[in-house]
Amino acid sequence: MVQNDYLPPEWLPLLQVVVGGIGDEDEENSVLFQLLSTVVEAGNENVAVHLPHIISLLVGQISKSIPPNPEPWPQMVERGFAALAVMGQSWGESMPEEVELSESRETWLSVQATLAKAFSSLLQQAWITAVQPMEGAISDLEASPSCIDDSSALLRSIMRSITTYNELLELKVAELLVAWADSIANWHAWEEMEDLSIFECIKEVVNLHGKFGLKDFIVRGLPSPPVPPVPQRSIIKGIGAFVSTAIAEYPSATWRASSCVHVLLHVPSLLI
């Protein structure tokens, strides 16, 4: 009905009912997550004002469903990340223009910072906490390849919210990027559109590094004893591996990969 312009008089109750119905039944969850994405896309600015509350509820539910060993991810988690990516994009598009009242813009930025904390916490749980190495093992974090495109969209949203170096540290962006870069370096499940957020994320990483100088971007430090001093892959090496594979093996991704190469070639000048 929503797709046919039969719009509800109030959006929040509908959103709350949909999110509240998400549970342990995969088949039912599939329908509810699809409905949630449809409602968000159809509601546009009418839904945007409610997104922070709905995103907070959904992050809590997804967090409870991430298992200790999150590979492969449960369908609930995969679909949840996909829905969060849609809502995060919708919220990003609702940002007031600079010419609008500064008060409304400041409110939007404050909410964006809160959402970035929620997204960071969720990605840390999925990528870092769940894969912490045993004592004495090599600490080589790698993000789960499940939903890497949707996860990249959330990571990009986090980076775009950062305005200070302290925020960079608080949100553990460098740690998330190390895990993400290791994962995309081994990426082979190419699709026409499903890897688009990865390329956009790469450009945002370079932009963020130019502003703040990311830890482990060019060279990743050796692990502390008693872990063997084995060199580990830096962020830019993981990105380079992804882009090189795209150009060499996947013609449909060549243009996007080449645009990332252009951005990466400017990295040395940003470090001078």
Query: Considering only CA atoms, which of 223, 145, 230, 211 is closest in space to residue 173?
Result: 211
- pLDDT, one tens digit per residue, over 111-130 is 999 999 999 999 999 988 75
pLDDT at 85 over 80: yes
Average pLDDT, the chain: 83
Per-residue DSSP letters for 101-116?
A: -HHHHHHHHHHHHHHH
Task: Report residue 138's pLDDT band, with 50, 70 and 90 as the boundaries.
Answer: very low
Per-residue buried b or exposed e for 198-234, using 16+ beta carbons within 10 Å of the residue's own CB: bbbbbebbbebbeebebbbbeebeebeeeeeeeebbb
C-alpha torsion 185→135→166→127, nearest 10 = 40
Share of the chain above pLDDT 90, in %: 38
- pLDDT, one tens digit per residue, over 3-23 is 555 567 788 899 999 998 988
Whole-number pLDDT of residue 101: 60
How far apart, in whole angstroms, are the C-alpha atoms of residue 120 and residue 169?
11
Q: Give CA separation, 223 vs 137, 147, 167, 220, in Å.
A: 10, 28, 24, 9
Task: Report residue 232's pLDDT band, with 50, 70 and 90 as the boundaries.
Answer: confident
Domain boundaries, the chain: 1-94, 135-272
Phi-psi region of 250 (alpha: psi -120 to 50; beta: other; left: phi over 0): beta
Pairwise pLDDT comparison (32 vs 23), residue with the higher score? 32
What's the alpha-carbon Rg for the chain, to the nearest Å? 19
Please state the pTM of the whole predicted model.
Answer: 0.86
Mean pLDDT of 67-94: 86
Kindly report the backbone phi and psi dihedral angles of residue 126, in degrees, each rounded to the nearest multiple of 5, phi listed first. -80, -35
Whole-number pLDDT of residue 155: 97
